[in-house]
Amino acid sequence: MGDKIRVTVWNEGRHEKTNATVKKVYPKGMHKAIADYLKTQPDMTVRTATLDDPDHGLTDKVIHTTDVLLWWGHMAHHEVRDDIVDKVHQRVLDGMGIICLHSAHFSKIFRKLMGSGCGLKWREAGEKERLWVVRPGHPIVEGIGEYIELPHTEMYGEIFDIPQPDELIFISWFQGGEVFRSGCCWQRGAGKVFYFRPGHETFPIYYDEKIRMVLANAVRWAKPVKSFAPYTTHYQPLEPLPASE
């Protein structure tokens, strides 16, 4: 099959340690639930990292041997070291894909990649969400159908303070009436960025079959394109240049 996609699933990992409800839903952490599914994909090799690991689990070696990074954070965005964020940011510009999940909209790395505040409306009421596919045929929604329905979730609503997505994949409708751009793609340098909204910590969303399919599809979409790299060196002309006077 060729080289496997090297995936790192990063999770803040704090809610599972401090909240009994979250611990019941994700006893080994959200990163473990996501990673366990991705490990079933024959074209991927998967590892995990958390905020409390040395260097947040994102050593230079890990960062430079990751093709696609999945990122979940919420209550401790401010604890992520700026130097680690800078290294991840540069790696994205150099070609690594990144998938930012749910409340990672407010993470340092996502805000740095977007260059905006990334604020939004929110409400915790356990209401129904329907994610409508608005880009059928896109690799991220392969096998998904017209929509994904989640019976209970946290609401995120517009206006979402992000740059206009290069591609809009999902729009969510919530039972309370709001809508939200729930699946957005961007190119940053040589790297691909996907923001995917579902994933509140108190609901078993990362066990949903279609949500897991989206994550696997997104990893394949976001993997580096090896033929594309920024040109950063002095370049010789392709044709002879006239002699300077």
190 neighbors 227 (Cβ within 8 angstroms): no
Place of tokens 């206009």: 164
Domain contains 229: no
Domain contains 197: yes
Residue 76, by phi and psi: left (phi above 0), alpha (psi -120 to 50) or beta? Answer: alpha
Which pTM was predicted?
0.93
Domain contains 78: yes
Range of the domain at 94: 5-114+182-222
Domain contains 227: no
pLDDT in tens, the chain (245 residues): 468 999 999 999 999 989 999 999 999 999 999 999 999 999 999 999 999 999 999 999 999 999 999 999 999 999 999 999 999 999 999 999 999 999 999 999 999 999 999 999 999 999 999 999 999 999 999 999 999 999 999 999 999 999 999 999 999 999 999 999 999 999 999 999 999 999 999 999 999 999 999 999 999 999 998 766 566 677 788 899 888 65
What CATH number is associated with residue 32?
3.40.50.880
Domain contains 149: no
Q: How many domains does the chain have?
A: 1
- pLDDT, tens digit (0-9, with 9 covering 90-100), for 94-142: 999 999 999 999 999 999 999 999 999 999 999 999 999 999 999 999 9
Domain contains 71: yes
